[in-house]
Structure 1
Amino acid sequence: MSIDKELLEILACPKCRGDIRLSKDEKYIVCDNCKLLYEIREDIPVMLIDEAKQVENTDEY
């Protein structure tokens, strides 16, 4: 099961309040602005800044 598209439309990055997107493998919510990956666990996005994964380049996600 995947994240509901309507849910993705209303979610925002908790750090910058910017737009987010679903990663190619649908395992993360990606903020291209902050370069953060928010993990999706059991179809629930964990939108906690402290638990986000910092990456150098979000293009590969």
Structure 2
Amino acid sequence: MALDPTLLSIIACPQDKGPLLLVGDELLYNPRLRRAYPIEDGIPVLLVDEARDATDAQHEDYLARGVDSSSQ
């Protein structure tokens, strides 16, 4: 399920308030903090406590596959 483009244009990281990368339909990623926020059933879970830290390999993968959510 794709996220609504309007939602993507205004969504931001709850921790540093910066833009996020959309990685597939699976997560939103903050490359500055290396934190990944899951998307469950088409709904972004933007809770700091639910974010996962990215390994170096995941970071590179997310950057390669990610699309700036504010440009959607």
Instruction: Tell me: higher relative CO, structure 1 or 2? Use CA pairs within 8 A at least 6 residues apart.
Output: 2
Listed as ranges, the gaps of 5+ residues in structure 1 are none
Normalising by structure 1, what TM-score?
Answer: 0.87
CA contact (8 A) 1:12 1:18 kept: yes
Aligned pair count reads: 60
Normalising by structure 2, what TM-score?
Answer: 0.75
Higher helix proportion? 2
Q: CA RMSD in A?
A: 1.1
Listed as ranges, the gaps of 5+ residues in structure 2 are 63-72
Moved over 4 A (4+): none
Q: Which has the larger radius of gyration?
A: 2
